[in-house]
Amino acid sequence: VVINNAAGNFISPSERLSANAWKTITDIVLNGTAFVTLEIGKELIKVKKGAAFLAITTIYAESGSGFVLPSASAKAGVEAMCKSLAAEWGRYGMRFNVIQPGPIKTKGAFSRLDPTGAFEKKMIERIPCGRLGTVEEIANLAAYFCSDYASWVNGAVIRMDGGEYVSMAGEFNDLKRVTKEQWDMMEAMIRKTKGS
């Protein structure tokens, strides 16, 4: 079992990023993950052994996100690498899967991503489950992915975010703020509409 959880991140407007800031994060996240994965994979091929590889990325590896450009780019690269190797090295008995966690409050992450504590409440408000995730929840899914129960799971990317991604993606999801009275009024207006 190989778990790639390399993380380096901080918030910054992209126009303030230096080449060194970009390189630091991509070296940790993408290059670190790639170098470990490729070296171990090559050795496993030589000795004809399989393994489960699991990468921990983030929901914004898929969507992109402002203010964390190096991390979003590097994590997207990790996902592409895992899917590519799932296709190429599956024949050697290696499986590559990804967990995309939403916000998990850890000291390391939140000290760089929410140093003032001002954004945590807003994060929770946009998560339909109404809370941040826990490390234990990620560990439970990781244990499954790395077990024999998941022996036919290869190339999967599982989003684990309390519904945050789909809540933000839906064009009309903010209608959950509409009161019953407002719905009654809008329904009456809609029913009066004739034609196209």
**Distance between CA 27 and CA 7 in Å, rounded?**
10
Give the burial string for 67-93 (b: 16+ CB within 10 Å, else e): ebbbbbbbbbbbbebbbebbeebeeee
Q: Which of 60, 92, 144, 149 is catalytic?
A: 60
Catalytic residue status for 60: yes
- Which whole-number Å values give the CA distances from 15 to 21, 124, 163, in the listed order? 11, 28, 31
Active site residues per annotation: 60
